[in-house]
């Protein structure tokens, strides 16, 4: 049995980590003339690429809670800035996917790389059992955050690719 005080301390620490990660992301957006949604979009696109999943503007918009016009404006803005490119599907020429440009990946690595490196360094201090516990906890919190407040996953929000890779 764990101490409820310890449990709440960990919950509050997770909240503080979330705030700091948001601030870190906001600094990246500000330094690169981007909107915070632009950064979230690039993360969703990179996660989809790691999962070998094609991402259309519509699917990206759904993952970010944007309507069709908002998703189109977002992709247009990112494309003008050189962060993404639209690519016609080789099998279905009517289908257009959105991919992150290598320059945007480089910008992200320059800013987020040290943080990711530090996180990986910290994780190397844990054994396999502890890593499984950390993974289980974070997965559970993520799933809880995806719910609509009544314990049901919001059906209007498609499942985003999992953020299970540091690079």
Q: Are 88 and 96 in contact (CB under 8 A)?
A: yes
End-to-end CA distance of the chain: 36
- The pLDDT tens digits along the chain (167 residues) read 678 799 999 999 999 999 999 999 999 999 999 999 999 999 999 999 999 999 999 999 999 999 999 999 999 999 999 999 999 988 888 899 999 999 999 999 999 999 999 999 999 999 999 999 999 999 999 999 988 666 666 555 555 444 444 34
Helix, strand, or coil here: 52? coil
The DSSP symbol for 147 reads: B
- Residue 71: closest CA among 80, 62, 82, 81: 62
Q: What angle do CA 163, 166, 167 make, to 5 degrees?
A: 110
What pLDDT score was predicted for residue 148? Answer: 67
Between CA 114 and CA 121 the distance in angstroms is: 10
Phi first, then psi, for residue 84 (nearest 5°) are -140, 170
Q: Which residue has the tokens 């987020």?
A: 112
């Amino acid at each position: 049995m764990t101490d409820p005080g310890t449990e709440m301390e960990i919950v509050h620490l997770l909240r503080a980590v979330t705030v700091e990660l948001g601030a870190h992301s906001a600094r990246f957006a500000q330094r690169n003339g981007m909107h915070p949604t632009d950064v979230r979009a690039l993360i969703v696109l990179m996660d989809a690429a790691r999962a070998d999943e094609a991402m259309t503007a519509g699917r990206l918009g759904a993952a970010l809670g944007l309507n069709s016009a908002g998703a189109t404006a977002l992709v247009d803005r990112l494309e003008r800035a050189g962060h993404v490119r639209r690519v016609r599907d080789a099998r279905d020429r009517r289908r257009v996917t959105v991919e992150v440009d290598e320059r945007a990946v480089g910008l992200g690595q320059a800013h987020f790389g040290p943080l990711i490196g530090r996180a990986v360094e910290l994780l190397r201090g844990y054994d396999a059992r502890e890593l499984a516990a950390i993974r289980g906890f974070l997965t559970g919190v993520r799933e809880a955050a995806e719910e609509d407040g009544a314990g049901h996953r919001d059906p209007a929000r498609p499942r985003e690719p999992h953020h299970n890779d540091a690079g």
